[in-house]
Structure 1
Amino acid sequence: MARNKEFDEKVVLKKAMDLFWKQGYEKTSMQDLVTHMGIHRRSIYDTFGDKHSLFLASLKYYELFVTKEWTTIISNSSTVKNAIRKIFEHVVKVAELEIYPAGCFSVNTAVELSLLDKDIQHLTTKMFNDTEELFNKLLKEGQDKGEFKNDLNTQITAQFLHNNLIGIRVLVKTNYTKKELESIIDLMMKVLE
């Protein structure tokens, strides 16, 4: 007779995500995961598979987590331009408050593993493409509302915004001040004028 799980999969998956986000894949051992997740090694294998499978599941969970945060930011913004700025400001704010590990889990992963692991390369590329598509949709919506010029190339501008977002997500891991990061965001936003 199969036993019921004595843990919430989403709760322990978030714990795994947090640990991988903080330490990276290579520096996180199975014992680290057992300790941090608070479940037995056998339960990890039975529920998520091996370390690599758990890492991929954590990365996918992170994508849902970020999408939810950005959806809230966008829906609470008065204009499209404001929504774009708020996404960037959110990255700076959470780094300053140390709510999550520094930087971005997907960016960290791309840097650490994408040249070594085709599954990771595929997933991080998809995540980056999804972010560019989100910016593209926002820019088109802004054009429809008269916030942006009609001759603005939304696809190239979306790639530009995404590149800057990656840059900000890396810079928050350094000694750049909040003022310096905000100056970068101000300059970047001038492209949308």
Structure 2
Amino acid sequence: MARNKEFDEQAVLDKAMELFWLQGYEKTSISELVEHMGIHRKSLYDTFTDKHSLFLRSIDRFGERVNRSLAAGVQQAGTAAEALAFVLGYMICGEQDMPPGCMLVNAATELAVRDAEADDKSRAGFLRTEQLLREIVERGQLEGEFTTRFSVEELARYLHNGLVGLRVLARTSVPKEQLQEIARLSVELLKLEEE
């Protein structure tokens, strides 16, 4: 008879996500994962198959968590500018219990060139974020908040590029105030008067 799991799979997945997020894939060992997750090595393999599968599941878990937070914040925003400011601010500061930066950016920069599955996960996450930005820009243009000098797609790609840069800088010692100034300027640039 199979034994019931003695741990909450989502809770231990969150712990694995945190460790991969902080250290990256290559630097994180199975021994560190087992210790950090608080489970036995056999349980890790029985539940998640191997380190790579656990890493990919951790990326999915990261995406679920971030997408849920972003959707809630954007929905509560009164204007498109407020929604965009929320997204940019979230990428700088995240949540209190989250490591700095972005697990997707980390995975892309560490593995995308040599790991097709990690590349696919990163690209899918980036596309979701770009789609969210596209929706915010479109709303801002329709409501007369944002410039229509550039297309929705152009502005969404431009903003996403800046957002990835903010995610990278958030992992460094660059002061948060400097990143928040970049975010504020990004919103203001979309409000520029038409020429």
- TM class by shorter chain equals over 0.9
What is the alpha-carbon distance in structure 1 between the residues aligned to residue 183 and residue 147 of structure 2?
20
Cα offset for 1:76? 1.8
**Structure 2 gaps, min length 5:** none
Cα offset for 1:151? 4.6
* Equivalent position amino acid for 2:30 in 1: M
What is the alpha-carbon distance in structure 2 between the residues aligned to residue 94 and residue 44 of structure 1?
28
Which residue number in structure 2 is paired with residue 58 of structure 1? Answer: 58
Which residue number in structure 1 is paired with residue 88 of structure 2? Answer: 88
Report the 3-state secondary structure (helix = DSSP H, G, I; strand = E; otherwise coil) of the residue aligned with 2:5.
coil
* Equivalent position amino acid for 1:5 in 2: K
Which residue number in structure 2 is paired with residue 133 of structure 1? Answer: 131
What is the alpha-carbon distance in structure 2 between the residues aligned to residue 127 and residue 93 of structure 1?
19
* Equivalent position amino acid for 1:175 in 2: S
TM-score by length of structure 2 reads 0.92
What is the alpha-carbon distance in structure 1 between the residues aligned to residue 94 and residue 129 of structure 2?
19
* Equivalent position amino acid for 1:131 in 2: T
1:43-122 equivalences under 5 Å are 43-94=43-94, 99-122=97-120
Which residue number in structure 2 is paired with residue 25 of structure 1? Answer: 25
Q: Are the aligned partners of 2:102 and 2:168 in contact in 1 as well (CA < 8 Å)?
A: yes
What is the alpha-carbon distance in structure 2 between the residues aligned to residue 103 and residue 160 of structure 1?
19
Cα offset for 1:145? 2.8
TM-score by length of structure 1 reads 0.93
Q: Number of aligned pairs?
A: 191
* Equivalent position amino acid for 2:181 in 1: S
Identity %, equivalent residues: 42
Which residue number in structure 2 is paired with residue 167 of structure 1? Answer: 165
What is the alpha-carbon distance in structure 1 between the residues aligned to residue 5 and residue 173 of structure 2?
43
Q: Deviations for 1:73-92, whole angstroms, at most 9, x for unmatched residues?
A: 11221111101111111233
Deviates more, 1:175-184 or 1:5-14: 175-184
Which residue number in structure 2 is paired with residue 6 of structure 1? Answer: 6
Runs of 4 or more, structure 1, over 6 Å off, are: none
What is the alpha-carbon distance in structure 2 between the residues aligned to residue 87 and residue 62 of structure 1?
16
Q: Deviations for 1:36-81, whole angstroms, at most 9, x for unmatched residues?
A: 1011111111111110000000000000010011012112211111
What is the alpha-carbon distance in structure 2 between the residues aligned to residue 176 and residue 38 of structure 1?
34
What is the aligned-residue RMSD (CA, Å)?
Answer: 1.5
Report the 3-state secondary structure (helix = DSSP H, G, I; strand = E; otherwise coil) of the residue aligned with 2:98.
coil
* Equivalent position amino acid for 1:138 in 2: I
Report the 3-state secondary structure (helix = DSSP H, G, I; strand = E; otherwise coil) of the residue aligned with 2:31.
helix
Which residue number in structure 2 is paired with residue 185 of structure 1? Answer: 183
